[in-house]
């Protein structure tokens, strides 16, 4: 068995509209000027509790209020504002047909991610969705990848983590898991290279080709 872990935003779906719209909603509700779009795009991936303090200060109560305002819009409409990247559906279908075990590892709240995945036409192929639950446990990529390895009883050498940001690659490396970067998401090729990606795919078709040698070895 081979475990294939996918990031969600910037890897399976292009979710900028929903995330940025919800961030702007949060800043508006706080009465705080929102950063420019280019900066907000860099917020896609890291946990919000790490990003908000850089702009609104590190007052825990204010940060929690910002997160609550973000969820206010995201839970109502933002979660629907995404598109599946071309070629992803066929890649997921092919991996499922090859009996790979598929799961999601994301820093998006698990309830939000689960809702999105359940509505994807290929979402039923994902055996589990790993994401923060709000209790502070397993909120980092490193922790969630370790949890997935334990849950599925898979050795690191038989698993792969796929994502568009350095958090995905660093989480993979911390667990001894192969880390593959995707160039169509919100991170840059340079970011992925510096994080130590084993390889970077420019398209889902290239990603499929990168996974085939792993399948042959396992």
Which residues are catalytically annotated? 7
Quickly tell me which residue has 């796929």 as its tokens.
162
Taking 3-state DSSP, the helix, strand and coil percentages for the chain, each rounded to the nearest 5, stand at 55, 15, 30
Token pair belonging to 125: 């192929």
Please provide residue 137's backbone torsions phi and psi, each rounded to the nearest 5 degrees.
Answer: -90, 140
Positive or negative, the Cα torsion across 132, 77, 125, 86?
A: negative
What angle separates helix 141-152 from helix 166-174, to the nearest 10 degrees? 50
Token pair belonging to 121: 């036409």
């Amino acid at each position: 068995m081979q475990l294939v872990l996918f990031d969600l935003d910037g890897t399976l779906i292009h979710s900028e509209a929903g995330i940025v719209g919800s961030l702007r909603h949060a800043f508006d509700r706080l009465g705080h000027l929102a950063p420019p779009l280019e900066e907000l795009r860099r917020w896609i991936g890291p946990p919000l509790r790490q990003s908000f303090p850089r702009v609104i200060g590190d007052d825990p109560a204010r940060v929690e209020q910002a997160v609550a305002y973000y969820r206010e819009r995201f839970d109502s409409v933002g979660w629907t504002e995404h598109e599946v990247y071309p070629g992803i559906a066929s890649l997921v279908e092919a991996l499922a047909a090859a009996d790979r075990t598929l799961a999601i590892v994301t820093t998006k709240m698990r309830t939000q991610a689960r809702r999105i995945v359940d509505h994807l036409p290929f979402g039923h192929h994902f055996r589990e969705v790993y994401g923060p639950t709000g209790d502070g446990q397993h909120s980092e990529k490193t922790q969630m990848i370790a949890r997935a390895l334990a849950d599925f009883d898979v050795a690191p050498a038989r698993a792969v983590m796929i994502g568009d940001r350095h958090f995905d690659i660093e989480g993979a490396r911390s667990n001894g898991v192969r880390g593959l970067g995707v160039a169509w998401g919100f991170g840059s090729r340079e970011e992925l290279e510096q994080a130590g990606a084993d390889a970077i795919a420019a398209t889902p078709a290239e990603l499929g080709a990168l996974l085939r040698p792993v399948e042959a070895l396992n």
